[in-house]
Structure 1
Amino acid sequence: MNIDIEFLKYPIGKFKLPELVSPAMIDEAIVQIKSFPSHLFKAVSPRSIGQLDTPYRPGGWTVRQLIHHCADSHMNAFIRYKLALTEENPTIKPYDEAAWANLSDATLPIESSLAIIQAIHFKWGILLDSMKPEDFKKTYFHPEKNRNQELEEVTLMYAWHSQHHLAHILHLGMREKW
């Protein structure tokens, strides 16, 4: 059996920022961000401990690590939004997500991170719904990327990020016939 590692890494493709971001794209991204917790809960609720500890690809994170990663990543994203909305082009703090995925809390039951995701996405949805079109043009500086990122880009990126990791879990379930 041939394994397409690139597909396993990027089941919905890599993130690509469109040349022009339309209000409809932002609206769809907000819907995806707000609905992510319910889709994620549905994907992982019936999973056994063994299934949660299965990597989504050879050499990849387990489903458990993916859930904890999404909580960590989306907490950081939410804080970055608040910084960009309240400060002039703040410099954000990058973090080593692979190292975080190997800390002791990545072995915890997933319920704590599911609760964080639910709460963060609820608050994030309220924030996104309250933003005016000009707010999505606000920026933060990302030192690893060495560039400013507009919140409209970040909104599309985190909608993609949510769907990207959800697809990892769903595709693993289909391959394993869960």
Structure 2
Amino acid sequence: MNELDLEKLKYPIGKFQIPEKFTPEYISTKIEDISTFPERLKIEAINLNDEQLDTPYRPDGWTIRQVIHHCAESHMNCYIRLKWALTENNPIIKPYDEKLWSELPDSLQMPVDPTLILLEGLHFRLAYIMKNLSENDLEKSFIHPENNSEYRLKQIIGMYAWHGNHHLAHITNLKKYKNWK
């Protein structure tokens, strides 16, 4: 497999692009993506058997099971970071090692149904709070210590909408390639 093919498998919808302008329409569309993500994921994952769930979406990549559990873990961190940014002045957030988390027994072996249920409640809360952010709230931010970068909440909305769609595409592309229903 050449580098170009591997890059397409890693980033099936491309890398996240920061828009030039965060319009109300952009924010609204991204919140809708976040709101609908659990149902779209469930539709793609619910009928997969254990062998399919334990299939990597690319060479040396995570299995579908790991991807689903990762989405919940990542989006729980998003929720906490959003709350910190809303209640503290530009806090420094705590990063986590997603690779090490993906190697823990719950990510490797646990059924996905509890995680799909968790995502429903989590995304309801994410969308609810995001829909109620003021213009001032959208400008609030946090610092990520790994790269010392500041992230505004309006950017986080776009990033996590992309993140869900990115991992959903990993699953849908593998299903299409394997001809799974």
TM-score normalised per structure 2: 0.95
- The residue number in structure 1 matching 2:173 is 171
Give the % identical residues. Answer: 48
Q: C-alpha distance in 2, partners of 1:23/1:56? A: 34
- AA of the residue aligned to 1:175: Y
- Partners of 1:127 and 1:153 lie apart in 2 by 15
- Give the counterpart letter for 1:134 in structure 2: N
CA displacement at 1:145 relative to structure 2:
2.1
Within 5 A, what are the aligned runs for 1:79-158? 79-106=80-107, 107-158=109-160
Residue type at the aligned position of 1:128: M
Task: Report the residue type matching 1:103 in the other structure.
Answer: L
Q: How far is 1:112 from its partner?
A: 1.7
**Pairwise mapping of residues 16-27 of structure 1 onto structure 2 (< 5 A)?**
16-27=17-28
Structure 1 segments of 4+ aligned residues over 6 angstroms from their partners? none
Find the residue that maps to 2:143 and give its secondary structure: strand
1:130 maps to amino acid: N
Q: Could you tell me how far 1:149 is from its partner in structure 2?
A: 0.6
- SS for the counterpart of 2:20 is coil
Task: Give the whole-Å Cα distance in 2 for the aligned partners of 1:21 and 1:126.
Answer: 19
What's the CA shift for 1:22? 1.3
Q: Distance in 1 between matches of 2:113 and 2:175?
A: 19
Gap runs ≥5 in structure 1: none
Residue 163 of structure 2 aligns with which residue? 161
Cα deviation code 1:9-56 (max 9, x no counterpart): 000000111222211111110000000000000000111111000000
Q: Deviations over 1:103-152 (max 9, x none)?
A: 11112001121111111001111111111122110000111121211001
Mapped partners of 2:82, 2:172: distance in 1: 28
Q: Distance in 1 between matches of 2:25 and 2:47?
A: 34
**In terms of mean alpha carbon deviation, does 135-144 or 3-12 score higher?**
3-12
TM-score relative to the length of structure 1? 0.97
2:92 counterpart of 1:58:
no
1:70 paired to 2:74:
no
The letter for the 2-side match of 1:22 is T
Q: Which structure 2 residues correspond to residues 32-51 of structure 1 after superposition, within 5 A?
A: 32-51=33-52
How far apart are residue 70 of structure 1 and its match? 0.4
Aligned residues: 178
Structure 2 segments unaligned to the other structure (5+ residues) = none
Code of the aligned partner of 2:31: I
What amino acid does structure 2 have at the position aligned with 1:43?
E
Q: Counterpart amino acid of 2:129? A: L
SS class of match (1:4): helix
